């Protein structure tokens, strides 16, 4: 079955700097790659997603890239703000289920 690896597990960046989280997946049949933000006491919230026919997607300060050949995908957050502090999960999906990575705890330092 699908296995998603995510790095780093913890990331601290200065406010205003960029943050990058990287993931790999194992199942070449995966075709949908969502990223979720989870704040304390809440369920995961989708922040951006990318499908396997697209290499890059951007939404304001957030961008995702996908390298199907290498089975890598990444999340980039630019101009980080205090409210970006949360746990971020990458995930890979075929049709019926989403397989999550272990999460990255992002701390934005003042």
Site of interaction with another protein (CB under 8 A): 30-32, 34, 36, 41-46, 49, 89, 93-103
Token reading at 4: 């998603």
C-beta of 25: minimal distance to another protein in Å? Answer: 13
C-beta of 30: minimal distance to another protein in Å? Answer: 8
Q: Looking at beta carbons only, is 74 or 94 nearer to another protein?
A: 94
Q: Looking at beta carbons only, is 10 or 78 nearer to another protein?
A: 10
With tokens 């995930």, the residue in question is 91
CB 25 within 8 A of CB 49: no
CA separation for the pair 13, 107 (Å, rounded):
6
CB 71 within 8 A of CB 55: no
Q: Looking at beta carbons only, is 52 or 74 nearer to another protein?
A: 52
């Amino acid at each position: 079955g699908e296995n998603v690896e995510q790095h780093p597990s913890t990331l601290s960046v200065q406010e205003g700097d960029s943050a990058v989280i990287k993931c790999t997946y194992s199942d070449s049949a995966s075709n949908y790659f969502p990223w979720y933000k989870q704040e304390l006491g809440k369920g995961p919230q989708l922040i951006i997603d990318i499908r396997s026919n697209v290499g890059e997607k951007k939404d304001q300060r957030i961008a995702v890239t996908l390298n199907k050949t290498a089975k890598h995908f990444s999340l980039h957050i630019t101009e980080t703000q205090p409210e970006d502090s949360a746990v971020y999960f990458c995930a890979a999906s075929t049709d019926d289920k989403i397989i999550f990575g272990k999460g990255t705890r992002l701390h934005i330092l003042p």
